[in-house]
Structure formats: C-alpha cells, structure tokens
Amino acid sequence: MTTTDPSALIDPYRTTPARLHNAILGGKDHYTADYALATTLATNTITPAITESHRFTLRAVEYLIDRHGVSQFVDIGCGYPHAPNIHDIAGRRSGTTRTLYIDNDPVVATYGRALLTGPNRFFTDTDVTDTATVLADITAVMDTARPIAVCVSGTAELISDAPAVVAALTDRLPAGTWMVFTHITDDVYGHQIHSAVRTLRGAGINYHPRGREEITAMLTGYRLVTPGLVAPHRWPLVPSAGDGVRALFAMPRHRAAWDLSAYAAVGQLHR
C-alpha cells in the first residue's frame, strides 16, 4: 500500500542528505540525528562551503533575471523547501517567472507538492539521474523557445557518476540554456573535506567532492560569465551605482579573502 503521509516514510534515527542540508542551512525540517550530524560538521570547512553555495545560487537567479531576462528556472535536486526558495527570489524580480523543482526523495516530494506548487510553480519526483525524464519534465512546463536556467547546487556531490549525468543532461538541453552550478571541492582544505566525507559516509551518505579539472570538464559546452569558475563567495557581482540593477539579495557572508572548499559558475550552453 502506498502512503502519502510523510511521517510514515521518515526514519528519524537515520539522517538523509535533504534533511542534513536543511539543518546546515538553519531550516526546521530535520530531526535530532540530522542536527547532530550538522553540529559535528559545523567546524569543518564543508559547512560554510555548503551555505555559501546556496547563497550563490540565489544571487545567480537574481543576476540572470536582471541581466539576461531569464524567467524560467529548474532546480534539480531541490531538497526541502527553505525560504527564500528560488521562486521567492524570482517572484521579487518578476511576476512572470516559472519554476520547476525536481527531487525524488519521497518525503521531499510530499513537502514539495504541498509547498512548492502554485501559480507558475511545479514539482516532479523524477530521479535526477534519469536525464531523459528530467528533460521531459522541463519541456512539459517550460517554453523551450525562451531562455531556461537549470540550477544544480548541492546535488552533483551526491551522485557517484555525476560527470556522466551532467554530460547527458547537457546533451539534451536546448542551446542557450543557462547553468547555475556549484560543487564542493577537496582542492581547498582537502584534509577537512576528506574528514567530512568519512563522517558523511559513516552516516550512510555517499559524498563525492571533486577537483577543479573534473568540475571544469562537467561544464564543457557552457560559456561562463565573468568571473568564471570561482569560489561561490567570490561571485558577488555587486551592482554598480546607477546601472539600473537592483541590489542582490543573498550577498556572501564568508570574507572574500578567506578560502572556501567549493566552486561555482554561471554559464550559457553553446553548441
């Protein structure tokens, strides 16, 4: 018998990537096990890398609306709703934006259908590695003749064959599609990231940090906007006075002079 009651699907003693991510971001949709693991990781460099990657994604959404007129966004591996969500940010910039959230965690799907759907907002519980179905989901609700931005943040690290998955998705996306991408790396503070990976795998979460070369290869085909592939807190794009661009919402909290164990980029697909 299939149940739609999220409480029947929850094991509060076993953490999940979505609940852990929510705990790290300061959300409320997690349990003691998730909070305990987030607390264990609080002094590890993976924590500011995750939080700044999330803030970068929100800034990138604002940037794409303001600078490039993008009004359609897809959040792949969206996790639990956590305000501000992409549609919250997009809605503040334009009343005509459309947002598609994709995540196949059954509890996330239950919450997503309840909280992330509405006018111009959609949710599907597709496996993000099933790129053919992901594209079908996108074409079902988006106008592919107009620019679309696909956000992959906090997702690729959870997929063992992420380079192949991203490549397959890229092959299926229409030219002109934007990619908002973040990835945790062990290039910076590698000993701490490896320690975090051991902790995560001990909790049953397979985690895969990657180096700059592999991450760069995952973005093959995308023309990256300035400043290219950088740490997410160094992608501020603060508007100049008088340039007509509204102030960005989620500015970095991590000092620009400090290193961070993550990379981020915004690029447009060219064939």
Residue bearing tokens 């739609």:
4
Q: Write down the pLDDT at residue 118.
A: 81
Q: Write down the pLDDT at residue 29.
A: 84
CA distance 74 to 256: 28
Under 8 Å between Cβ of 92 and 249: yes
**For residue range 153-201, what is the model confidence (pLDDT) as tens digits?**
999 999 999 999 999 999 999 999 999 999 999 999 999 999 999 999 9
Contact partners, residue 186, CB within 8 Å, separation at least 6:
193, 194, 197, 209, 210, 211, 261
**For residue range 219-229, what is the model confidence (pLDDT) as tens digits?**
999 999 999 99
Q: Write down the pLDDT at residue 239.
A: 52
Share above pLDDT 70 across residues of the chain, in percent, rounded to a whole number:
90
Average pLDDT, whole number, for the chain?
Answer: 90
